[in-house]
Amino acid sequence: MALDSKVPQGPIADKWTDYKNHIDLVNPANKRNIDVIVVGTGLAGGSAAATLAELGYNVKAFAYQDSPRRAHSIAAQGGINAAKNYQGDGDSTYRLFYDTVKGGDYRAREANVYRLAEVSANIIDQCVAQGVPFARDYGGLLDNRSFGGVLVSRTFYAKGQTGQQLLLGAYSAMNRQIGRGKIKMYNRHEMMDVVLVDGKARGIITRNLVTGEVERHSAHAVVIASGGYGNVFFLSTNAMGSNVSASWKIHKKGAYFANPCYTQIHPTCIPVSGDHQSKLTLMSESLRNDGRIWVPAKLEDAQAIREGKKKPTDLSEADRDYYLERRYPAFGNLVPRDVASRAAKERCDAGFGVNKTGEAVYLDFAAAFVRYGTEQALIHGDHNPSAEKIDKLGKEVVKAKYGNLFQMYEKIEDENPYETPMKIYPAVHYTMGGTWVDYNLMTTIPGCYCIGEANFSDHGANRLGASALMQGLADGYFVLPYTIGDYLSDDIRTGAIPTDSPEFEEAEKSVKDQINFFVNNNGTKSVDHFHKRLGKIMWNKVGMARNKQGLTEAMAEIKALREEFWKDVKVPGKGDTYNEELAKAGRVADFLELGELFAKDALVREESCGGHFREESAETEGPQKGEAKRDDVNFAFVSAWEYKGEPADAVLHKEELEFNDIELKTRSYK
């Protein structure tokens, strides 16, 4: 099947408006006869479910958690971008569009990104109307901060809990519709498969995680909003339950999977402490507004610190290497995430790491304490403050801005970050790749949509900070509710979709067969055992730096591990009860397939772009020496993979990317 992105004609600034003016609508009375399933209730799924219900559709929403409020969007800390230009610093829809395309290393679809930038301002208006308590200045107007990879302040925030507040906003909108009966909410339910009738997505099979019951649910369209697949690495900043299964099930039924190798390794996470580690914790990128990143300039100092003979505060300014400020003077500590992560790895690989494992760098707030403290003293009329007073006042300002993050750090590391610099290291955080969708956010399965982190569309090869929340809410509040109507307008006379058809029968049977297989397998090793081994392969060979040999080995190792998993996995308990190990087994089975496709995608993409760094493709001379080298002649396309059984046999379809409104050039932050 040829890929058709269905991007409308016309100038980029007019595409979305023109498009909305000409699509088919469903009249309010007919919407009552149409059912829509939404899988996942984070920012994308929650906002979509609420808006579709407001429009009059009958929505069934599904979450594996015990409440939609717990989706992992809640953990996003720093903020949400919007081209409001409230700071008057030259921001505009075009500039947000440009920054996002450039930040994504020119691997995103222009028309989708422009639309995202265009609706961004509406998101802030909508959220404020819902009662989201964004940070404000003393005049009562909304405050902004800046994030990596941009030169303006366009990030709106609610302390270090922006994701929480936005999700609670979407959750409140859902609650209003659940109360009215327009959304039927299924908590603690996991989607096990999608059901196709006459080639269209017409329902899903779920497992009730409390009773173990396998259920059939039908609808006229299915929306997948199940988030990213970072947990293929086992260790990531994702929630423990975050998984690829909903996306993978639709992939196996015909939805192409795009750019799986585009993974964001976030530069500021708390380093790994030991083998018992179950997940990693992010420290918001907003900290890079005020924190300076450094390692010792001398190897002997780094060694002394690792051995506990020296403390970071013992080192003079001259003995510190603020390597981001040194390498990238224009953007300094606010370079994009992929650049900051690779730079940390480079220093640690060279022996400058500062914790026991040698895999950590410092994030230091001492300069911010002085800067803010001096300003506060002046505001309070003290023109000759003591160093102690400056320090005290400065720390109060930093506490007001990032207090919850500092507390979180202290609880995990048992160190006071007000007194000693934080230790940080990159960790898997976000996946730009995902299900391929057209301009309507529809997958290659008719009637099956994919929104939020689960799709591939807007961030190219690297996502800028504070853009995930923007995209999730843009898709759910402002894009999908329009585009889905165009599809559903053909279904006004269809009537309810029956669940007793052979298609439902067959899908349910295969789900039950897999459950029975797992609980009767009598293997010897736990699900986590396999998941951890998969994670090690991924991190070592498909992580921050990749090469042909490592990727080829990874594909073979994952395949072998997958075969071992099916022979030897041990799932205690039964299928028809609460059984967390069984749920995990199904998710890891899918990760074991995705992992191999991921490595294959990275192998095929013989260029470096965004979060994907191929060691064979780096600049060898000139001012950009050592930086990633993109290849626009051969790789300016989206890789969309068609399922053919074994991941190694997946067939590549290319969506060539056209850049008409932004000139393709080398991404420099120097």
| Closer residue to another protein (CB): 214 or 239 | 239
Q: CA-CA distance, 668 to 339, in Å (whole number)?
A: 10
Q: Which residue shows structure tokens 């505060």?
A: 313
| Closer residue to another protein (CB): 57 or 322 | 57
Choose the catalytic residue: 70, 337, 533, 605: 337
Cβ-based neighbours of 139, under 8 Å, separated by 6 or more: none
* Closest CB 478 distance from another protein, rounded Å: 6
* Closest CB 552 distance from another protein, rounded Å: 32
Active-site residue flag, 337: yes
| Closer residue to another protein (CB): 285 or 601 | 285
If you write DSSP's letter for every residue of 23-50 in order, what string do you get? S----HHHHTT-EEEEE--SHHHHHHHH
| Closer residue to another protein (CB): 356 or 654 | 356
Q: Which residue shows structure tokens 């505009």?
A: 92
If you write DSSP's letter for every residue of 133-176 in order, what string do you get? ---B-TTSSBP-B--TT-SS--EE-STT-HHHHHHHHHHHHHHH
| Closer residue to another protein (CB): 25 or 197 | 25
| Closer residue to another protein (CB): 298 or 525 | 525
Q: Which of 649, 498, 626, 446 is nearest to 559 (CA)?
A: 649
* Closest CB 381 distance from another protein, rounded Å: 21
Beta-sheet strand order (sheet of 257-258): 434-435, 257-258, 637-642, 651-656
Write the single-letter amino acid at 472.
G
* Closest CB 56 distance from another protein, rounded Å: 11
Q: Which residues pair with 628 in a beta bridge?
A: 618
Indicate the SS3 state at residue 277.
coil
* Closest CB 510 distance from another protein, rounded Å: 26
* Closest CB 156 distance from another protein, rounded Å: 8
* Closest CB 149 distance from another protein, rounded Å: 24
| Closer residue to another protein (CB): 284 or 341 | 284
Please write down the HEC assignment for all residues of 356-383.
CCCCCEEEECHHHHHHHHHHHHHHCCCC
Per the CB < 8 A criterion, the answer to whether 104 and 459 are in contact is: yes
Half-sphere exposure of 529 (CA within 13 A, CB side): 12
Q: Which residue shows structure tokens 């639309």?
A: 115
Distances (CA, A) of 439 to 4, 366, 444, 504: 9, 47, 12, 29
Phi, psi of 589 (to 5 degrees): -55, -40
Distances (CA, A) of 454 to 202, 430, 435: 20, 10, 6
Write the single-letter amino acid at 124.
I
* Closest CB 593 distance from another protein, rounded Å: 24
| Closer residue to another protein (CB): 116 or 194 | 116
Active site amino acids: 337
